[in-house]
Amino acid sequence: MCYKGIQVTRLIHDRYAADPARGFYGAGAIDARFDFLPASFALHGLPPDAPKWGSEYKKLFTTYFNRSMTLLSHTSSLAQAKNTVTFDPDVKDAWGLPALRITSDYHPDDLATIKWIQSKQIEILQAAGAQKIWCQSVEMIDNMPGRHLMGTCRMGHDPATSVVNAFSQTHDIPNLFLVDGSNFVTAARQQPTATIQALAYRAADHAIAAAQRGEIG
């Protein structure tokens, strides 16, 4: 029998502040949750040393599914000029339009941050009395899940280095406002929804005032 209900997830910000003494820039929020449904847990949730089939597999699945939790983190991700989103000169999509080409790599500080925050997650689980702890290898970072996409239309004062101004208004098209996670100049260390909502309210107030002044139509 499986008794998992709707997940409850909360962040702690004890490790949110960066500290130069660590030797790298970065920190993060630690998120406790259980993201798996039975089928996905059966495929991806069991520890690496668990059998992949048979009666022992079924036994471990039932035991672990009802007694497991996961810790995840939202960590810093430094912006780099070499990370770009451009149109591919050769590849086309189903409509014959240029496909997007995403070029991205992690800053060494990002990797150091992940390793550090992972060690803090292990400390929490140990303090909670976990009987077995397993982690995803940081070396497998390219296969790690990503959520809350941010960046590509960064906010700034200089049109040469940013896409939108402080009010999410594009520098070159006054009537165009881009209000979403693309405005972020670095990845947030927590879920960014509330910040995006705040930016949207500010953009709306600015757009209304600009329209009243006749600056945009």
Let me know if 148 is a catalytic residue: yes
Question: How far apart are alpha carbons 150 and 185 in whole angstroms?
Answer: 8
Buried b (16+ CB within 10 A) or exposed e, 171-191: eeeeeebbbebbbbeebbbbe
Question: How far apart are alpha carbons 57 and 52 in whole angstroms?
Answer: 6
CA distances for 116 relative to 18, 27, 29, 76, angstroms: 12, 8, 12, 12
Q: Are 113 and 27 in contact (CB under 8 A)?
A: yes
Q: Which of 148, 157, 171, 206 is catalytic?
A: 148
Q: Which residue from 102, 181, 183, 115 is spatially nearest to 144, judged by alpha carbons? A: 115
Query: In 10 A of CB 27, how many CB atoms?
Result: 21
Which 3 state secondary structure label does DSSP give 204? helix
Q: What is the DSSP letter of 177?
A: B
Active site residues: 148
